[in-house]
């Protein structure tokens, strides 16, 4: 499988276009982020381990596959990554959720950590890191660094919009992770915002600013 999967699905592209529209308000924005995460999650979780369990149907008893227990952790990068969590939990309600708090310095654009709490143990889980925006890639690289330092091994990174610069940086720093991107945008501007992008994802999800 390629390390990077960029989604071409019309439903995802349509919903991303709605996110970009500056007239889209907080409620709708939040719902769209969740729906896109669910659609992306459907693909990203196609290799979740399953095991056969015995089920009694109204007709007979059979062995039939179910997702093997305690195998998934979702780890949003705060704040904006939180907006994607429920979309994935809708698919796998039993997943554990960790949190990594990072904010970008407005001048240097470098990430600063302020919180980290991961499910323990983490080493045997598939870990889906969520953040709608992959801009310089600094936050994504730092988040994956933390997870690996805590023992995480099988890591998938999911972002709705990526800039080529950020994707290259993440790929170079972590060639062993799988990366899922809803849409590749053109470039970063002088403030390290993605163009055309959707603005500040955290502010638009939480209605700040």
Q: Kindly list the catalytic residues.
A: 104, 108, 200, 203
Distance between CA atoms of residues 158 and 18, nearest Å? 19
Cα-Cα-Cα-Cα dihedral of 128, 2, 200, 102, to 10°?
40
Q: Is 14 exposed, middle or buried (0-12, 13-18, 19+ CB in 10 A)?
A: exposed
- Stretches 4-12, 19-27, 28-36, 126-134: which one binds ligand PRP (CB under 6 A)? 126-134
> Whole-number minimum distance, CB 35 to ligand PRP, in Å?
18
Partners of 65 in the β-ladder: 52
Contact residue for ligand PRP among 19, 36, 198, 201 (CB under 6 A): 201
| Positions in 60-119 near ligand PRP (CB under 6 A) | 77-80, 102-104, 109, 111
β-pairing, 111-117 vs 99-104, is antiparallel
Task: State the residues that interact with ligand URA by CB under 6 A.
Answer: 80, 133, 135, 193-194, 197, 200-202
| Positions in 179-198 near ligand PRP (CB under 6 A) | 192
DSSP-derived secondary structure for 17-49:
HHHH-TT--HHHHHHHHHHHHHHHHHHHTTT--
Output 15 or 169, the one with its CB closest to ligand PRP. 169
Give contact residues for ligand PRP (rule: CB under 6 A). 77-80, 102-104, 109, 111, 131, 133-140, 166, 192, 201-202
């Amino acid at each position: 499988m390629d390390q990077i999967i960029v989604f071409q699905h019309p439903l995802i592209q349509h919903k991303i276009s709605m996110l970009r529209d500056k007239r889209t308000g907080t409620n709708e924005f939040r719902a769209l982020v969740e729906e896109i995460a669910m659609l992306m999650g459907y693909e990203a979780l196609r290799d979740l381990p399953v095991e056969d369990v015995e089920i009694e149907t109204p007709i007979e008893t059979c062995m039939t596959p179910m997702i093997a227990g305690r195998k998934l952790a979702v780890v949003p990068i705060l704040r904006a990554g939180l907006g994607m969590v429920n979309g994935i939990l809708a698919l796998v309600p039993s997943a554990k959720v960790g949190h990594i708090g990072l904010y970008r310095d407005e001048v240097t654009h470098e990430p600063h950590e302020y919180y980290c709490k991961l499910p323990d143990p983490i080493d045997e889980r598939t870990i889906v890191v969520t953040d709608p925006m992959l801009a310089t890639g600094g936050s994504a690289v730092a988040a994956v660094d933390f997870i690996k330092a805590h023992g995480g091994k099988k890591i998938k990174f999911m972002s709705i919009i990526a800039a080529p610069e950020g994707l290259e940086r993440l790929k170079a720093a972590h060639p062993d992770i799988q990366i899922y991107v809803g849409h590749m945008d053109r470039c970063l501007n002088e403030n390290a915002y993605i163009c055309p992008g959707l603005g500040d994802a955290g502010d638009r999800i939480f209605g700040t600013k």
